[in-house]
């Protein structure tokens, strides 16, 4: 039986991370319930505000994204992916011109085409997200 030790180590590490995250999550819930139990033991009643504060998820620390942030992100990533595909195709073309037909770089053109189609798909998908406001964002950029 030929087992790649690197692959086995990866899956063992992934399993360890998943098990640890589940254990920490259950421990956090257990601590919340223990806190409620102690409050009931000491005072005999539960304050609604404390209960809400204990069981409501904390508010995120990051600000709410502005409308159009996803639109811009998909456009930028799509354009970068297309330029990467063009660079890959140029690399293959130069390699074929220098090394000749024995270089076997023809599959690279197909890969570059697939990457370019993926980038075009990202740009197409940006159409379905909310567009930026016409007055521009707070970063003083052009929209």
Domain that holds residue 16: 5-55
How high is the pLDDT of residue 96?
83
Count the domains in the chain.
2
How high is the pLDDT of residue 90?
93
Judge whether 99 lies within some domain. yes
> How far from chain centre, in Å, is Cα 99?
39
83 and 122 share one domain: yes
Judge whether 136 lies within some domain. no
16 and 44 share one domain: yes
For the chain, how long is the longest CA-to-CA vector?
86
90 and 124 share one domain: yes
124 and 73 share one domain: yes
**Residue 68 three-state SS:** coil
9 and 51 share one domain: yes
42 and 93 share one domain: no
**Distance set, CA 119 to CA 1, 43, 90, 100 (Å):** 41, 61, 17, 29
| Per-residue model confidence as pLDDT tens digits over 104-119 | 878 889 999 999 999 9
| Per-residue model confidence as pLDDT tens digits over 38-95 | 877 887 777 777 677 777 766 777 777 778 888 999 999 999 999 999 999 998 888 8
Judge whether 64 lies within some domain. no
How high is the pLDDT of residue 117?
97
113 and 83 share one domain: yes
Judge whether 74 lies within some domain. yes
Judge whether 48 lies within some domain. yes
CB 55 within 8 A of CB 32: yes
């Amino acid at each position: 039986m030929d087992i790649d030790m690197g692959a086995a180590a990866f899956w063992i590490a992934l399993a360890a991370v998943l098990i640890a995250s589940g254990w920490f999550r259950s421990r956090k819930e257990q601590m919340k319930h223990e806190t409620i139990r102690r409050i009931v033991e000491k005072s005999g009643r539960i304050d609604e505000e404390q209960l809400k504060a204990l069981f409501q998820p904390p508010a995120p620390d990051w600000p709410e994204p502005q409308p159009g942030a996803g639109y811009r992100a998909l456009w930028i990533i799509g354009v970068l992916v297309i330029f990467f595909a063009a660079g890959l195709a140029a690399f293959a073309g130069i390699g074929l011109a220098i090394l000749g037909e024995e270089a076997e770089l023809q599959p690279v053109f197909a890969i570059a085409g697939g990457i370019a189609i993926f980038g075009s798909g990202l740009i197409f998908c940006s159409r379905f997200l909310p567009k930026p406001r016409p007055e521009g964002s707070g970063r003083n950029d052009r929209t």
